[in-house]
Amino acid sequence: MYAAVDLGSNSFRLHIGEPIAGQIHIVRTARDPIRLAAGLGPDNALREDAVETALQTLRDFSAILRQYRLAAVRVVATNTMRVASNADAVLPRMEEAIGYPIEIISGEEEGRLIYMGVARALGRRSERRLVIDIGGGSTEVIAAHGDDIHLVESFSIGTHPQSATYFQGGHVSADAFETAVNAARARVEDLADQYRRHGWDAVYGSSGTMRAINEVISRNRLGDGTMSLPSLFALRDKLIELGHVDAFDLPGVKRERVIVMTGGLSILIGVMQELSVPAMTAINAGLRLGVLSDLELRANRHDRRDLAIQDCMRRFGVDTQRATRTAAIAKKLFDKLAPQDDTVVHHLLRSAMLHEVGQAISHTGAHKHASYIVEHADLPGFTARELRLMSLIVLGQKGNLRKVREVLGVPDLAKAVLALRLAAVFMHARVDADVDAVRVRMKGRIDVETPRGWLRQHPTVAAWFEKEAAAWSDVGVPFSVTT
């Protein structure tokens, strides 16, 4: 079984799922509508009361997770944690409360995971789809064909800021609603043509807000009773007629969620009008099912991160043969260094495959360009932490080591930097076949031992070793070569 925890801007949610016969069966769920986005102050810092509420929910979730034997757990945080100015200070407390690392995922990664969940629930691989997910802090719009995502965008418009800005105090008027809808349209209009050109056979809404709107419309037979624009207008008119969210008493939505639904409705109408979507279908699938599906894929060695590396290499014209040779040499050297953390080798190998990606910009300072690309490129499946770590390994492939001091303090990461530096040297010198004969150790100092006569066979390596000795000495690590 796998567990997915979604730290959303409106609610924290937990799913525990078990893959059976190609489907993921949900065996346990939990939800707490803590409204984290409402805890952001004027400076975008989370207030302490909001943090304490979040910590208590995470402790409760931790207790649930401990009841199951889980193969993997993934905790993802979305827009509110992306924008919180004190996220770096809050995150360790949250991780301690739940007992697992928390990934603050990008909006684009959130969109991809949402779509993975929708695609997993629907099947229908020949269908062209548009998926809209309106969350508490952002709205994701994804255009795809079957399992293949063609366009994904995260728009910084969500139910909380929409409600707080245009429906202050719960008051709803025709003018306020029109202004709110136009604000939503303005956010998506730049990309509307791209979505329309992609086209679709069906449109789905995947968020809890979508399902709440659908429930109210269908149970109260508003409009035609479906998620069509006329039905959305009928719900809008009902809210305007009542004038305040507290007066809304139609079945299908809890009273405390009416304000969330109102903000979401204004976004949905705006997005559908701008994209020329006449109707859509609400679906009970999205981010959490996508996270569970991704965990299952990783367990079965179908890791999206490796596909992202290959795509990035194609995008920037990386020489696949050189990259593969470098990665193979780095792996041999890293094994010789006897690392303790098995996960670091994956960071090293992926860094090695991308270590020359910066040459697409300039050969001068290519390692610096490569480091920037790795950290900031859109690489599906990677967390911000992983990309930062890989970017530092790539940056450390040559030159001054002081710029990567933060990873040199972690023994296995220091070994990864050393392995990539030597691998790049050996790849350029074409000594692939002779790497097995080289011994290398790193424990407070670096000792490289080569067979007698080896350096005479590879004279350029000797010059590189002198540069390496100077570079490592500059950060207080002795580097010696013996035969």
Q: What is the mean pLDDT of residues 184-201?
A: 94
Q: How confident is the model at residue 362 (pLDDT cuts 50, 70, 90)?
A: very high
pLDDT at residue number 290: 94
Please give the Cα distance from 375 to 390 (Å, whole number): 7
Please give the Cα distance from 77 to 110 (Å, whole number): 9
**For residue 395, pLDDT beyond 80:** yes
Q: How confident is the model at residue 452 (pLDDT cuts 50, 70, 90)?
A: confident
Q: How confident is the model at residue 151 (pLDDT cuts 50, 70, 90)?
A: very high
Please give the Cα distance from 7 to 1 (Å, whole number): 20
Please give the Cα distance from 309 to 300 (Å, whole number): 18
**For residue 163, pLDDT beyond 90:** yes
Burial 230-255 (b: 16+ CB within 10 A, else e): ebbebbbeebeeeeebeebebebbee
Please give the Cα distance from 16 to 28 (Å, whole number): 5
Q: How confident is the model at residue 352 (pLDDT cuts 50, 70, 90)?
A: very high
Pairing mode, if any, of strands 102-104 and 72-77?
parallel
**For residue 69, pLDDT beyond 90:** yes
Residues 315-348 have pLDDT tens digits of 999 999 999 999 999 999 999 999 988 889 999 9
pLDDT at residue number 1: 93
3-state secondary structure of 345: helix
pLDDT at residue number 385: 85
The number of C-alpha atoms within 13 Å of 253 and in the hemisphere containing its C-beta is 28
Q: What is the mean pLDDT of residues 443-462?
A: 89
Q: Which two tokens stand for residue 123?
A: 């099947």
**For residue 434, pLDDT beyond 80:** no
List, as one string, the DSSP characters of 228-275: EHHHHHHHHHHHHHH-BGGG---TTS-GGGHHHHHHHHHHHHHHHHHH
What pTM value is reported for the model? 0.79
Q: How confident is the model at residue 457 (pLDDT cuts 50, 70, 90)?
A: confident
Q: How confident is the model at residue 299 (pLDDT cuts 50, 70, 90)?
A: confident
pLDDT at residue number 90: 96
pLDDT at residue number 126: 87
Helix axes 304-315, 344-353, angle to 10 degrees: 20
Q: What is the mean pLDDT of residues 277-291?
A: 94
Pairing mode, if any, of strands 23-32 and 439-442?
unpaired
Q: How confident is the model at residue 148 (pLDDT cuts 50, 70, 90)?
A: confident
pLDDT at residue number 304: 82
Q: How much of the chain, in percent, has pLDDT values that exceed 70?
A: 100
Q: Which two tokens stand for residue 391?
A: 């970017």
pLDDT at residue number 179: 97
Q: Among 315, 305, 319, which residue's Cα sits nearest to residue 379?
A: 305
Sign of the dihedral defined by the CA atoms of residues 53, 54, 57, 59, in that order: negative
**For residue 380, pLDDT beyond 90:** no
Phi, psi of 174 (to 5 degrees): -65, -40
Mean pLDDT of the chain: 93
